[in-house]
Amino acid sequence: MLNFKTISIVSCIALLGLIICNSSWIFMVLVVVIWFVITGLGSGLIGWNYHLKSVLSNAKTSKKAVAITFDDGPNSQFTPQVLALLNRFNAKATFFCIGKHAENHPDILKQIIGDGHTVGNHTYSHSNNFGFFSTQKVISELKKTNTIIENFTGLKMNLYRPAFGVTNPNISKAVKVLGLTSVGWNVRSLDTTSRNSGTVLNRITKHIKAGDIILLHDTSEKTLIVLEQLLLFLQQKNLASVTIDALCDLKPYE
């Protein structure tokens, strides 16, 4: 398995060897470029577990179930409709909440928990520059969101979903300092792209199996359409929708 530490050590050894052998600078540049490419991809692809090990699925589960997860809420327009759909199908899900949105919509946050769903940390600001934050700034964001959720619900969250799925050494250190469990996915719906609902649904259901973790966002009408059809599909396949902690035997709160 590729990881940041291993690739960095191998790259340093390769560079040192090239220097000792007085090799061409072209080969040295090539090693550096390869390191940057691999590290760049590893930072953006959560499935690599490159900087930070995340829970991606539970392929060994004996449960006939999947975990539907929602990022970026609570959203005053769409989250209540998502909750209504989940209740209609007796389905459970996991909501990775942005702190500032939870702060603005505490009633929806409480409804999520009251309906039996799980909540996790999805940073406070979900800033486009989050991947460039210092370790201390990442810690501050995550602690702020945890405090907001605890103040409203009394729950101390253990689960974290990286913003944009981006990880790096600073984020990895912050997660370890706070003792959080990072949760990724192995089925990315791409529901926030320009793809239509049919394409998004097909992307999810094409190879779906027990133990999968599905990424959706409770932020659009398109996702509502996809969610209803997905829940019908799961019902037909005799696959339950459960919380991430139930699927992967995680501890969601202290």
3-state secondary structure of 244: helix
Q: H/E element holding 236? A: helix 221-236
Cβ distance 29 to 15 under 8 Å?
no
Can you tell me the distance from the alpha carbon of 161 to that of 139, in angstroms, rounded to the nearest whole number? 14
Q: H/E element holding 134? A: none
CA atoms within 13 A on the CB side of 131: 14
The residues that are catalytic are 71, 217
Can you tell me the distance from the alpha carbon of 253 to that of 42, in angstroms, rounded to the nearest whole number? 28
